[in-house]
Structure formats: structure tokens, C-alpha cells
Amino acid sequence: SPSYPSLAQIAGHALSNIFLDALSVDVERVQRINQTLSLIPEEKRTHSALRPVELLVIAPSQRLDAIAARHVGDLPGPVRTMLGALGVTSNMADVRGAALASYLLFEQGYTQELMALGRADTLARRADVCRFFGWKDTGAALRTRLPT
């Protein structure tokens, strides 16, 4: 028999659509506008207020719902109870319901893991970040600018 998604999975998917898909649409829109601007001759572009916008998108290298699944047990009891009723458990073999929890988790362990992931992902793209900000990539340039 087919496995139907839990209410938590549906809610997590809906929240992802609301927040993440909107971000993807914004990035795509800026890229499209930049492409359109590049087709306008330079002498005509100087008379316009429109300018290309440089983008640097750094996406997490790990699934946030998988990280959230490790921290569901850190949530206050009433929140865990509510999530459990929706299909999320703190001992999850299947992390699909954890997407909802990822929007509710502000516990220290989860946020510290997210910040460490963001730092690692940014350092992995060090050359791109330095180029974006116009910094000289000395290897240590970015590490000294990112909080630990």
C-alpha cells in the first residue's frame, strides 16, 4: 500500500515552497534582468537608473531537515508533543517530517550547527566570496572576516 505523507511533511513542504521557492524566483528574476540589461548597448544603459546586480548564492551543502532531525529532541516538551501529533518524532529514521521542525527550531545546538555549516560552506567557496567582495584571496582573508 502507498505511504501517504504526514501532516508534518505537507506543512514542511508548504513552508519550503513559501520561503525557499520565493528566494529561487528572486534569484532567477535578478539573473533575467541582468541578462536583459546586458543586451542594451552601453551608451543607452548610462541614461538608465537600472544597473546589473551581482549575485553570490551559497546554498547549504547538507539538508537542513536532516540537521533538524538530530535536534528535534532539543525542543520544549509541548512543541515535541505537537510535532509528534503531526508526524515528527525525536527518534527519526525517516527525516521527511523534520522539514517542519527546521522552521521551529531555534535551540542552541541546532543554530550552532547551522552557523558552522554556513561558515564551512562559505569557506569552501572562499575564492568566489573574495572575488565577490573584491578581497585579495590570501587564504586567511576570509577566515579573518568570518565570525567563529
Mean pLDDT of 103-123: 96
Residue 81 is assigned to a structural domain of this protein: yes
Residue % of the chain over a pLDDT of 90? 62
Residue 1 is assigned to a structural domain of this protein: no
- Residue range 32-47, pLDDT digits in tens: 999 999 999 999 988 9
Range of the domain at 111: 7-145
Length of the chain: 148
Selection from 76, 100, 73 nearest residue 89 by Cα: 73
Residue 80 is assigned to a structural domain of this protein: yes
How is residue 74 annotated by DSSP?
A: G
Name 88's Cβ contacts closer than 8 Å, sequence gap at least 6.
6, 8, 72, 97, 98, 100, 101
The tally of domains found in the chain comes to: 1
Residue 15 is assigned to a structural domain of this protein: yes
User: How far from 68 is each of 61, 97, 102, 138, CA to CA, in Å?
Assistant: 14, 10, 5, 35
Bigger pLDDT: 109 vs 139: 109
Residue 57 is assigned to a structural domain of this protein: yes
- At residue 89, the pLDDT reads 73
Residue % of the chain over a pLDDT of 70? 86
Query: Which of 88-92, 108-112, 123-127 is the least confident region?
Result: 88-92
How is residue 47 annotated by DSSP?
A: T
Residue 31 is assigned to a structural domain of this protein: yes
- The answer to whether 98 and 12 are in contact (CB under 8 A) is yes
Mean pLDDT of 15-44: 93
The one-letter amino acid code at 40 reads I
